[in-house]
Amino acid sequence: MTKGFIEVAVNGLIERMFQKRNGLTNLEIIRTENLRFQYLSQNEEPEPAPKPAGAPKRAKTKPADAQNQPAAANAPAPSASSKPAAAQNQPAAAYAPAPSAAPPAAAPEPDALRDAPLALDDINIKIEKGEFVAILGHNGSGKSTLAKHMNALLQPTGGTIWVSGLDTRIEENVWPVRKTAGMVFQNPDNQLVATVVEEDVAFGPENLGVPPKEIRRRVDAALERVSMYGCRQSAPHMLSGGQKQRVAIAGILAMKPECIVLDEPTAMLDPLGRKEVMDTVTSLNREENITVIHITHFMEEAVLAGRVIVMEDGRIALEGTPREVFSQVERMRALGLDVPQMTELAHYLREKGLHVPQSIISIEEMADALCELR
């Protein structure tokens, strides 16, 4: 069977952690016994496990951050010590079932949770190499959960996820999957751990056991690529948010990924920082053919994508080109989401009786449409 570059076929993953059970507070509830797993009978056999990539000479793990964003996303399963996660913010990997050589067998489902809603439900996505996909959805719709599955930080409990042909549930694949699909998280301060920019960028390739000369070459090239070479000797805390995010992207580029999964990378940035990051991401996609999966709450960023996926309650509510998705203004509103400003303006003008196309998504298109009215 031909597989997409990334293929997600799941139905029933980790349940939401709403219930207050066994005297646990919501913050403490990230525990296996509070998770519900559903299993589908799979007709397909998983791909045969490829040979594991060479084990690192020196495995390091970035510390889990304060927002439950496991920095380990970009460092494959560590064998050496890692800093403990903050007591109330265990990394996702802590509650994901541990991957094993074969896809895990079904676990019994606690009765009390049988009817709990699912974090991801009936998700079937095929993403081709070189695509730029934006994922939208209101808070809690499952965007980050989906992203973490693409990086093998979470393991599907029903269905399968293939990343570049690798079944993420197979332990030997975890390392190559994370090397193939690197993750950038929301908070730039939680992703940089070294005291010097270039050392931080070297972190990934070091973990991969890349020879020092090659690391030097990769670090320089990656920093050049994100226009941060001039700051290679700087301390990360001296950089702006946008610069930090670009250094985080350089850290992933240094591992030569085929795909970058960005989970709201611009959420904490000012407009200039957002532009810097989006310019970097779009050029990596267009010029280097790196597959981009970009989670965002900014509709103007989603317009840059080739495909938009809108999630609601762990399901895909809408999918299509930005134009197809955003022209459904009322539907987007019903999902609690905005549309790009120009689409909103077009909708308003149409309600007022002006004949402008509903499918407008950019300022240029609006300007053209208004000129044609005269």
Residues of the shown chain interacting with ligand ATP in the complex, contacts defined by CB under 6 A: 14, 16-17, 30, 35, 95, 119, 137, 139-145
Q: Which is closer to ligand ATP, CB of 145 or CB of 151? A: 145
9: left (phi over 0), alpha (psi -120 to 50) or beta: beta
Which of ligand ATP, Mg ion, none has residue 140 at its interface (CB below 5 to 8 Å by kind)?
ligand ATP
Q: Buried b / exposed e across 265-274, counting CB within 10 Å, b at 16+?
A: bbebbeeebb
Burial 126-144 (b: 16+ CB within 10 A, else e): ebeebbbbbbbbeeebbbb
Which of 11, 68, 144, 180 is the binder for Mg ion (CB under 5 A)? 144
Least CB distance to ligand ATP at residue 282 (A): 22
Partners of 308 in the β-ladder: 134, 320
Token pair, residue 141, equals 């719709």
Q: What is the residue whose two structure tokens read 């609601």?
A: 312
Cβ of 160: how many Cβ atoms within 10 Å? 18
- Residue 144 or 168: the one with the smaller Cβ distance to Mg ion is 144
The residue (of 116 and 221) whose beta carbon lies closer to ligand ATP is 116
| Cα–Cα distance for residue pair 126/3, rounded to 1 Å | 8
What's the min distance (Å) between Cβ of 145 and Mg ion? 8
17 binds, among Mg ion, ligand ATP, none (CB under 5 to 8 A by kind): ligand ATP
Least distance (Å) between residue 295 CB and Mg ion: 7
Give strand pairing partners of 123: 10
Give the x/- contact pattern for Mg ion in 96-135, rule: CB under 5 A.
Answer: ----------------------------------------
CB of 85 to ligand ATP, least distance (A): 12
Query: Whose Cβ is closer to Mg ion: residue 143's or residue 244's?
Result: 143
Q: Which does 155 bind (CB under 5 to 8 A by kind): Mg ion, ligand ATP, none?
A: none
Specify the pairing of strand 259-263 against strand 6-10: unpaired
Which of ligand ATP, Mg ion, none lies near 296, with the C-beta cut-off 5 to 8 A by kind? none
Strand residues in the chain grouped as ranges (E): 6-10, 123-127, 132-137, 159-163, 166-167, 181-184, 259-263, 291-295, 307-312, 315-320
Of 182 and 265, the one with the shorter C-beta distance to Mg ion is 265
Q: Which is nearer to ligand ATP, 43 or 139 (CB)?
A: 139
User: Footprint of Mg ion on this chain (CB under 5 A)?
Assistant: 143-144
